[in-house]
């Protein structure tokens, strides 16, 4: 059996696939998925490789993530999908759209541009690698250890959602920390020069986020000539979690 990505599917209707960001998982989008399902969408909350309940692999780059997604779409016989990706997932869906445009109806990219970013997850990666599950045997102890490098409680809570009990008294991370650490350089890469998607594309950015800047407009236009940009007020990089109401309205207006 080929490795098919794990997903949670909610609702019935037109397929809407949602891809999470770095160290995230489909479950992060559960409450929004239920809202989209009410509008006659079949929402697929997909776990990308090395994340959530999907398979682990030493290999990790956007070309592979795109092929994983294509296999998933074929496996489920999906066509004319609406596709939404946040952060790392946004880079996956951007590259996917340039390679498989015929599969996509509308594309949505949440708070990421098709450019290279300077490395900015080092503290998170260091903190996660400092966890020794034989010592840090409860979520409380893990949180205390993470707080040495990650002062933001919201970020720690997000990461702690990835802990689960392998067996009684033994916690572990769902994500493949070693592969994500080893392949970090892949995460921050830009979309390849000359890759273009001519379909309708919506970029969403947090009003308090610096990930998509006004001066990125020519770059967005070069790759996505039919793009529009929505700014979600009172939200940073986690715009779907910080202002779910405005985020939902921007997305539903675009795909409806």
Instruction: Indicate the SS3 state at residue 34.
Output: helix
Which residue do the tokens 């309708």 mark? Answer: 200
- Tell me, yes or no, whether 76 lies in a domain: yes
> pLDDT tens track of the chain, all 256 residues?
579 999 999 999 999 999 999 999 999 999 999 999 999 999 999 999 999 999 999 999 999 999 999 999 999 999 999 999 999 999 999 999 999 999 999 999 999 999 999 999 999 999 999 999 999 999 999 999 999 999 999 999 999 999 999 998 899 999 999 999 999 999 999 999 999 999 999 999 999 999 999 999 999 999 999 999 999 999 999 999 999 999 999 999 999 9
Contact of 73 with 42, CB cutoff 8 Å: no
pLDDT at residue 2, as a whole number: 76
In whole angstroms, give the CA distance from residue 25 to residue 231: 24
Are residues 111 and 203 located together in one domain of the fold? yes
Residues 174 and 208 both lie in one domain: no
d(CA 102, CA 81): 10
Q: Are residues 68 and 173 in the same domain?
A: no
Residue 129 has which token pair? 């690698």
Same domain for 104 and 147, yes or no, is no
Mark which of 153, 182, 211 sits at the end of a domain: 182
- Evaluate the CA torsion angle 30, 36, 37, 42 in order and state its sign: negative
Domain of 178?
122-182
**Does any domain span residue 44?**
yes
Spatial CA neighbour of 89 closest among 247, 229, 237:
237
Q: Do both 63 and 151 map to the same domain?
A: no
- The Cα 48–Cα 87 span in angstroms is 13
Do residue 105 and residue 208 come from a single domain? yes
- For 198-253, the three-class secondary structure string (H helix, E strand, C coil) is CCEEEEEEECCCCCCCHHHHHHHHHHCCCEEEEEECCCCCCHHHHCHHHHHHHHHH
Catalytic site residue 121? Answer: no
Is 87 marked active-site?
yes
The structural domain count of the chain equals 2
Do 195 and 98 meet the contact criterion of CB atoms below 8 Å apart?
Answer: yes
Handedness of CA 55, 58, 62, 68 (dihedral sign): negative
CB atoms inside a 10 Å sphere around CB 102: 7
Residue 16 lies in a domain: yes
1 within some domain? no
Both 206 and 83 in a single domain? yes
* Distance (Å, whole) CA 117 – CA 185: 10
How far apart (Å, rounded) are the C-alpha atoms in residues 146 and 151?
Answer: 8
Is 155 part of any domain?
Answer: yes
Residue 163: phi, psi to the nearest 5? -90, 145
Q: In this structure, how many other beta carbons lie within 10 angstroms of the beta carbon of residue 150?
A: 19
Do 105 and 128 lie in a common domain?
Answer: no
Q: Residues 166, 208: one domain?
A: no
Please state, in angstroms and rounded to a whole number, the distance separating the CA atoms of residues 178 and 13.
38
Q: Are residues 136 and 167 in the same domain?
A: yes
Asked if 14 and 112 sit in the same domain, the reply is yes
Same domain, 167 and 215: no
Catalytic member of 87, 209, 223, 240? 87
> Does residue 2 fall inside a structural domain?
no
Residue ending a domain, among 140, 160, 182, is 182
- The catalytic residue among 6, 136, 237, 240 is 237
Residue 128: predicted pLDDT? 98
């Amino acid at each position: 059996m080929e490795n098919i990505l794990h997903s949670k599917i909610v609702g019935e209707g037109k397929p809407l696939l949602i891809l999470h960001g770095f160290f995230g998982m489909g479950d992060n989008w559960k409450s929004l998925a239920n809202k989209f399902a009410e509008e006659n969408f079949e929402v697929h909350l997909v776990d990308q490789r090395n994340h959530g309940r999907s398979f682990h692999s030493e290999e990790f780059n956007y070309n592979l993530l795109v092929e994983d997604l294509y296999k998933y779409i074929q496996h489920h016989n999906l066509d004319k999908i609406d596709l939404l990706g946040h952060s790392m997932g946004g880079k996956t869906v951007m590259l996917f759209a340039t390679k498989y445009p015929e599969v996509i109806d509308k594309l949505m990219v949440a708070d990421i541009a098709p450019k290279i970013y300077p490395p900015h997850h080092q503290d998170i990666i260091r903190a996660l690698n400092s966890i020794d599950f034989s010592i840090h045997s409860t979520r409380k102890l893990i949180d205390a250890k993470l707080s040495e490098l990650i002062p933001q409680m919201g970020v720690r809570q997000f990461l702690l959602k990835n802990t689960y009990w392998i067996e009684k008294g033994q916690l572990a991370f769902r994500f493949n920390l070693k592969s994500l650490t080893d392949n970090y350089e892949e995460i921050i890469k830009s979309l390849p020069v000359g890759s273009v998607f001519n379909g309708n594309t919506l970029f969403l950015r947090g009003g308090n986020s610096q990930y998509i800047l006004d001066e990125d407009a020519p770059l967005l236009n070069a790759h996505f000539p039919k793009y529009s940009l929505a700014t979600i007020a009172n939200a940073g990089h986690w715009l779907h979690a910080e202002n779910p109401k405005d985020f939902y309205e921007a997305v539903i207006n675009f795909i409806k």
